[in-house]
Amino acid sequence: MSTCSRREFIARTVAASATTALCGAVSFRAFSAEQWPPSVVVFSKIYQDLKLNFEDAAALTAEAGMDGIDCPVRPGGEILPERAAEQMPQYAEALKKRGLQMPLLTTGITSVASPHTEEILRTAKQLGVKYYRLGFTNKQADVPPGKQVSEVRAKLKDLVPLNKELGLGAVLENHSSSGRGLIGGDLTEMYEVVQGFDPGQIGVAFDVGHAIIAHGDDWRRHFDQLKSYVKVAYVKEIKRGKGFVHFGEGELGSNGYFKLLKEMGYRTPVCLHIEFDWSDKGKSKTRAALLRALQESTQVLRRWLSEAP
């Protein structure tokens, strides 16, 4: 360690771990080669309800007809931050065996000082991940909003050199945060957070469901303002007055959202989120019930994407 910086040591350790686990670099479908409609991945937080191991999670993803996962690597996630360098390659290998990918991560990272940031991101780079979602920042009642936005921007600025070095993009989700305020849940505030950054290093994971909850029909104006920063699309079916519902029971199929994505040249995998009650007749959560929910949701989402004018 006397002749090797901490960053160099982490990089070498992560590279060796990933290579050993995968017997060579994982080669996922190149983002630039994707055409419309884009591929569909699932936010695999839903697998935690059944405590699936990596092999079972990969098998379920394949059986449901999806292209891969957005993996939660965060406290309480499928993979804990301290085990990322070990377990992310294992999960990626289970997916690879079934022709699936891990193009997206969801993390708790809010700054370069967040625990295990470098291990997570350097491992992600080795595995072909393109974008990682940042952790949320809670609003503080005793701190002026403008000051908090400035503090968040300062932390993002510190992340930019590492993102640039690795060729990764960090994205912030607009979450309407029922019962708690989050920085960026309001899309005017989100624009204040990301404006001026290179969208390739700091962008937005646009959650249209939460945008509708926060802004109603005005979500379109905000989308247009943020469009150059939108790098990942999160899709949860929404019905006003009822919240998140089964795919096909809300408004996403008819509100023009997918047309907007197509027109802007969106090519990143679309991330499907299961936020409705998928249990078997509202009683038990079983593999069969989750598989049915995933299959039905994926079929509806693929139809929306393919039919976008």
Q: Is a pLDDT exceeding 80 seen at residue 178?
A: no
Per-residue CA distances from 215 to 172, 176, 177, 223 (Å): 17, 9, 13, 11
- Given pLDDT bands bounded at 50, 70 and 90, which one contains residue 172? very high
Note whether 42 and 294 are within 8 A (CB).
yes
pLDDT tens-digit readout, 195-236: 999 999 999 999 999 999 999 999 999 999 999 999 999 999
127/129 Cα distance (integer angstroms) = 6
pLDDT tens-digit readout, 229-270: 999 999 999 999 999 999 999 999 999 999 999 999 999 999
Q: Is a pLDDT exceeding 80 seen at residue 31?
A: no
Helix, strand and coil content of the chain, in percent to the nearest 5, comes to 45, 15, 40
User: What is the CATH code for 6-307?
Assistant: 3.20.20.150
Residue ranges of domains in the chain: 6-307
211/189 Cα distance (integer angstroms) = 12
Q: Is a pLDDT exceeding 90 seen at residue 22?
A: no
